[in-house]
A and B are shown apart, each in its own frame.
Chain A
Amino acid sequence: MRNQISSMNMSRRQWLKTAAGGLGGLALSGLSSPTASGAGLLSPKAAQFAPKAKRVIFLFINGGPSQFESFDYKPELKTNGGKKGVNKGKLLAPLYDFAQHGESGMWVSDVFPHMAQQTDHLCMLNGMTGPSRAHPIAIPMLHTGEFQFVRPSFGSWVLYGLGTENQNLPGFFTIKPTRTFGGPANYGSAFLPSTFQATRLGWQGQPIKSASISNLKANHSLSSEAERSALELAQKMNQQLLSQTESARGVIDSLNLSEQMRDAVPEVTDLTRETKETLDMYGINGGPTDDFGRQCLLARRLSESGVRFVEISSDGWDHHSGLDKFKKKAETIDKPVAALLADLNQRGLLDETLVLWSGEFGRQPETQVLSGKETLGRDHNAAGYTAWLAGGGSRGGLTHGVTDDLGYKTVEGEVHLHDLHATMLHMLGLDHKKLVYRFGGRDFRLTNIHGNVIHEIVS
Chain B
Amino acid sequence: MSRMLICLVPVLSIIFSGFAVCGAEPKTKQADSKGLELFKTQIEPVLVKHCYECHSKQGKSVEGGLELDSPSGMMRGGDTGPMVKPHDLEKSSLIQMLRHEGDVSGMPPEEKLSDEVIAAFEEWIRLGSPDTRKETGPTLKEKRLEAAKQHWSFISPQSVKQPKVNLKDWPRDAMIDGFILSAIEKHGMKPVADANRLTLVRRVYFDLIGMPPSPEEVNAFITDKSPDALPKLIDQLLESPRFGERWGRHWLDVVRFAESSGMEFNFSYPHAWPYRNYVIDSLNQDKPYNVFLREQIAGDLIPAKAGDSPEQIEARRIAPSMLSFGPKRHNSSGTGFRMDIVDDQINTVSRATMALTVSCARCHDHKFDPIPTADYYALAGIFLSTEPLYGTIKQKYSNSPTDLLPIGSGAEALHIAAEEYEKKIQTAEKTLTAKKEELKKATEVQKLATTKKAKVERLVATTVVAIPGADGKSEVAAAKEAASQPSQADLDKINAELNKATALVSTLTGQIKPLETQIAELKKNRPARPQYAMSARDRKKPADTTIAIRGDFREKGDIVPRGFLSIVKLEGSPKIPANHSGRLELADWITDERNPLTARVMVNRIWHHLFGRGIVPSVDNFGLIGKEPSHPQLLDALALRCVKEGWSTKKMIRAMMLSRTYQLSSAPSAKNMKIDPNNRLLWRASPRRIEAEAIRDAVLTVSGQLNLDRPHASTVTPLGDTLVRGVATDKLQPPSNYRSVYLPVVRDYVPELFDLFDFPSPSLVSGKRAVTNVPSQALYLRNSKFITEQSKHAAKRLLASKQASDDAAKVELAMNWALARSASKAEREGALQLIQQVRKSGDAQNGETEVNAWAAWFQTLFMTAEFRFLVDVT
Interface 9-residue window, one of A51-59, A83-91, A247-255, A427-435? A247-255
List, in ascending order, chain B residues with CB within 8 A of A188's CB: 748, 761
Smallest distance from the beta carbon of A143 to chain B beta carbons, Å? 11
Bound form: Cα–Cα A226–B297 in Å: 56
| A413 contacts chain B at the CB level, 8 A cutoff | no
| Cβ contact within 8 Å between B668 and A190 | no
Q: Are A236 and B826 in contact (CB under 8 A)?
A: yes
B765 partner residues in chain A, CB cutoff 8 A: 440
Q: Which residues from chain A contact B837 at a C-beta distance below 8 Å?
A: 223, 225-226, 229
Closest to B625 in A: A441
Q: Are A41 and B783 in contact, CB atoms less than 8 angstroms apart?
A: no
Q: Is B802 an interface residue (CB 8 A)?
A: no
The segment from B226-234, B496-504, B525-533, B864-872 that touches chain A is B864-872
Contact between chains at B856 and A255 (CB < 8 Å): no
Q: Which of A9, A136, A231 contacts B771 (CB 8 A)?
A: A9
A227 partner residues in chain B, CB cutoff 8 A: 782
**A-B pairs under 8 A by CB, number:** 237
Note all chain A residues with C-beta closer than 8 A to B830: 229, 233, 236
B777 touches A254 (CB 8 A): yes
| B769 surroundings in chain A (CB, below 8 A) | 8
B260-268, B401-409, B565-573, B584-592: which lies at the interface: B260-268
* Chain A residues within an 8 Å CB radius of B263: 140, 147, 150, 182, 185
Contact B779 A226 (CB under 8 A): no
Interface stretch, picked from B153-161, B305-313, B737-745, B749-757, is B749-757
- Bound: A252/B30 CA distance, A: 83
Cross-chain contact of A226 among B773, B782, B841 (Cβ < 8 A)? B841
Q: How many Å from the CB of A443 to the closest CB on chain B?
A: 9
Are B864 and A234 closer than 8 Å at their CB atoms?
Answer: yes
Chain A residues with Cβ below 8 Å from B666 are: 244-245
Nearest CB in chain B to that of A229: its residue? B834
B748–A39 touching, CB < 8 Å: no
> Is B33 interfacial (CB 8 A cutoff)?
no
Within 8 Å of chain B (Cβ to Cβ): is A219? Answer: yes
Which residues from chain B contact A183 at a C-beta distance below 8 Å?
266, 724-725, 748-749
Q: Are B773 and A251 in contact (CB under 8 A)?
A: yes
Pair B262/A223 contact, Cβ less than 8 Å: no
Residues of A within 8 A of B759 (CB): 194
Mark interface residues in B782-809 (1 if CB within 8 Å of A CB, else 0): 1111001101000000000000000000
Q: Is B334 an interface residue (CB 8 A)?
A: no
Question: Does A234 contact B860, Cβ atoms closer than 8 Å?
Answer: yes
Kindly state whether residue B360 has any CB partner on chain A within 8 Å: yes
The answer to whether A285 has its CB under 8 Å from any CB of chain B is: no
Do A230 and B856 touch (CB < 8 A)?
Answer: yes
Interface positions of B from 824 to 874, Cβ below 8 Å from A: 826-827, 830-831, 833-834, 837-838, 841, 852, 855-857, 859-861, 863-866, 868-869, 871-872
Neighbour of B360 across the interface among A199, A216, A247, A442, CB < 8 A: A442
Interface size class of A (residues with CB under 8 A): 35 or more
Contact call A229/B833, Cβ cutoff below 8 A:
yes
Could you tell me which residues of chain B, from 258 to 315, have a CB within 8 Å of some CB in chain A? 262-266
Q: Would B368 and A441 count as touching, CB distance under 8 A?
A: yes
How far does the Cβ of B78 sit from chain A's closest Cβ, in whole Å?
13
A102 at the A/B interface (Cβ < 8 Å)? no
B782 contacts A38, CB within 8 Å? Answer: no
In the bound complex, residues from chain B placing their C-beta under 8 Å from that of A441 are: 356-357, 360, 368-369, 621, 623, 625-626
Q: Does B248 contact A (CB under 8 A)?
A: no
Shortest distance in angstroms between A63's beta carbon and chain B's nearest beta carbon? 15
Most chain B C-beta atoms within 10 Å of own C-beta, residue among A8, A193, A441: A441
Q: How far is the CA of A237 from the CA of B769 in the complex (A)?
A: 26
Task: Find chain B residues with CB under 8 A from A223 CB.
Answer: 837-838, 841
Pair A38/B329 contact, Cβ less than 8 Å: no
State the Cβ distance, A162 to closest chain B Cβ, in Å: 17
Q: Which chain B residues lie closer than 8 Å to A184 at the CB level?
A: 748-749
Q: What's the least CB distance linking B176 to chain A, in Å? A: 23
Does A136 contact B331, Cβ atoms closer than 8 Å?
yes
Closest to A141 in B: B264
Q: Are A147 and B264 interface neighbours, CB within 8 A?
A: yes
Verify if B764 is at the interface (C-beta below 8 Å from A). Answer: yes
Contact in complex: A220, B865 (CB < 8 Å):
no
Residues of B within 8 A of A346 (CB): none
Which stretch, A257-265, A302-310, A416-424, touches the partner chain B? Answer: A257-265
Structural contact, B264 and A137, CB atoms closer than 8 A:
yes
User: Could you say which residues of chain A place their CB within 8 Å of the CB of B357?
Assistant: 440-442
Assess the A39–B775 pair: CB atoms within 8 A.
yes
- The 8 A CB mask of A193-227 against B (1 = contact, 0 = none) is 11101010000000000000011111111110111
- Answer whether A220 and B859 are a contact pair too, CB < 8 Å, given A38-B772, A193-B772, A247-B865: yes
User: Do B779 and A440 have beta carbons less than 8 Å apart?
Assistant: no
In Å, the complex CA distance between A250 and B773 comes to 5
| Cβ distance B327 to chain A, nearest Cβ, rounded Å | 6
Known A230-B860, A241-B865, A258-B779: A194·B784 in contact at CB below 8 Å: no
- In Å, the complex CA distance between A245 and B665 comes to 12
Interface of A with B (CB < 8 Å)? 7-9, 11, 37-39, 41-42, 136-137, 139-140, 147-150, 170, 179-185, 188-191, 193-195, 197, 199, 214-223, 225-227, 229-231, 233-234, 236-238, 241, 243-245, 247-248, 250-255, 257-258, 260-262, 438-442
A sample of 17 inter-chain contacts (CB < 8 A) reads A8-B758, A38-B772, A41-B772, A150-B763, A180-B264, A194-B758, A219-B784, A222-B856, A230-B863, A241-B866, A243-B667, A251-B865, A254-B775, A258-B775, A440-B357, A441-B360, A441-B625
